[in-house]
Chain A
Amino acid sequence: MSNRTESNVYTIIFAIAMVIVVGGLLAFTASALRPMIDNNERLEKQQNILYAMGVNDNDESSAVFVSTKEAPQLFEKYISKQLVIQGDNVSEDENAYLIDVKKEQASAKEGNERRLPLFVGEKDGKTFYIAPIRGKGLWDAIWAYIAMDKDMVVQGAYFDHKGETAGLGANIKQRFFMDDFIGENLMNNGEFKGITVAKGNNDPKNENKNDNKVDAIAGATITGDGVSAMLKSELKQYVPYFETLKNE
């Protein structure tokens, strides 16, 4: 090692060169791959929405999406309407599924009226209302697609997360957790209650569907609380729309 690499001038020049090279490399990779990544994310959203309404390739115990190849056709086939709810205003938008829930939450914080996407699916004569929601887990974001009937009884749920603990909080995307939500009522005697991920509700087989509770995952208390809070605060905003369905 020479003295050359010890001088301050060399150090500064090296640091600048390093930042330019690495920054350029990352920017190039990110922008070159952006269209492909966007496309993958779009397909994933379609798969998630279809999963929630029961269009999936599930085997006995694990959650399997429809293939990315089929997703666009199936999405077209099963999703009859995509709605954007903004206050009392309900409009149709065929790209509502691309609305970024995170951005909407941020803009609502700044005092704007939030746009709430809701997808209406038809399958085997049943109508599903699927809402995309987003919240906070232990480490990072968690999100879900909840399919409901017109009385806000859950018909299907898909949960996902960015960085929950593997083997604990990360299990919210496992069938044993997600399937518990099917049949659970979000309402209780006409009032919106949400669904609480509860410890010790003495119902591990989840037979009681009207208790507004599902069984929690051991060791994942904070993630579970995040799920409860997300369901409560996010789905509550859809209640006025479901009220209007009753009057129809």
Chain B
Amino acid sequence: MGLLSKKDAALIKDPLADNNPITIQVLGICSALAITAELEAAIVMSVSVLFVLGIGNVVISLMRNIIPSKIRIIVQLIVVAALVIIVDQVLKAFAYELSKTLSVFVGLIITNCIIMGRFEAFALGNGPWRSFLDGIGNSLGYGVILIIVAFFRELLGAGTLLGIKVLGDPIEKTGVYAFGYENNGFMLLAPMALIVVGIIIWIQRTRNTSLVEDH
């Protein structure tokens, strides 16, 4: 017997492939544009979302029977905002260096539609354990796309990965730059993130045609 039942395991696996939050559910697109210009930021954002969505989903799930449906969106927003702010304050007090890296993402996380989307679509109707798995699965699915997009944007746009010059120095003309290669600055601009996400969606739906919507 595995650690998770088949149904529970699907909660983790599906968002990584055929029910990916970004490419299929179209959640969390804004942050996929905003912070994928470099790989490090994408990784930090993915880990933060993993943490917030995992815990947030559990909190909302525990509260699901007492939340008045008329104000449920506001309640969800308050829960996620409070959670993120408390974490931010604790980090500022005990891990100041880390908090400086993360504070940029606080606003992005609170307004990230993937969080509200999963609260609304899953946590409100399921128990805490399954909601937790759903949160982990979806943030992993989100993170995978973010990291793929950031990998190509940083590599082609700046010629670096995690800040390391993997293609050589563009000013000193070493590495591939010696052969006339140039960085494509266009990759660093937000529209290119959309195009990269589009290409991922295209590849994914070519491989699995059942994902293609009927019109």
Contact = CB atoms under 8 A, between A and B. Distances in A.
A5 B171 CA distance: 65
B37 interface: yes
B58 to A, nearest CB: 17
Contact of A25 (B82, B154, B188): B82
Secondary structure class of chain A's binding surface, majority of residues: helix
Interface stretch (A74-82, A122-130, A165-173): A165-173
Given A11-B68, A14-B66, A205 B171 contact: yes
Given A22-B82, A162-B103, A163-B107, A219 B189 contact: yes
A168 B93 contact: no
Interface stretch (B6-14, B83-91, B198-206): B83-91
B153 to A, nearest CB: 8
B71 interface: yes
A29 interface: yes
B211 interface: no
A68 B96 CA distance: 10
A33 B92 contact: yes
Measured as residues with beta carbon below 8 angstroms from the partner, the interface class of chain A is 20 to 34
Contact of A166 (B37, B69, B185): B37
Interface in B50-89: 65-71, 74-75, 78-79, 82, 85-86, 89
B178 to A, nearest CB: 17
A219 B188 contact: yes
A242 interface: no
B26 to A, nearest CB: 22
Contacts, number: 93
Nearest to A161: B104
Contacts of B79: 22
B38 interface: yes
B155 to A, nearest CB: 12
B68 A25 contact: no
Contacts of A163: 103-104, 107
A170 B104 contact: yes
Contacts of A19: 78
A29 B163 CA distance: 35
Interface string A168-183: 1010000000000000
Interface stretch (A36-44, A94-102, A105-113, A232-240): A36-44
Given A18-B75, A167-B154, A168-B188, A30 B89 contact: yes
Nearest to A25: B82
B37 A1 contact: no
Contact of A1 (B69, B78, B92, B104): B69
A130 to B, nearest CB: 20
B109 interface: no
Contacts of B163: 62
A5 B66 contact: yes
B93 A167 contact: no
A6 B37 contact: no
A245 interface: no
Of all A-B residue pairs in the complex, the 5 with the closest CB atoms, nearest first, are: A167-B37, A166-B41, A167-B38, A36-B93, A11-B68
26 contacts: A5-B69, A6-B68, A6-B69, A11-B71, A14-B66, A14-B68, A14-B75, A18-B78, A19-B78, A25-B82, A26-B82, A33-B90, A33-B93, A40-B92, A40-B96, A44-B96, A62-B163, A162-B103, A163-B104, A164-B104, A165-B35, A165-B37, A166-B35, A166-B38, A168-B188, A219-B37
Interface of B: 34-38, 40-41, 65-71, 74-75, 78-79, 82, 85-86, 89-90, 92-94, 96, 103-104, 107, 153-154, 157-158, 163, 171, 185, 188-189
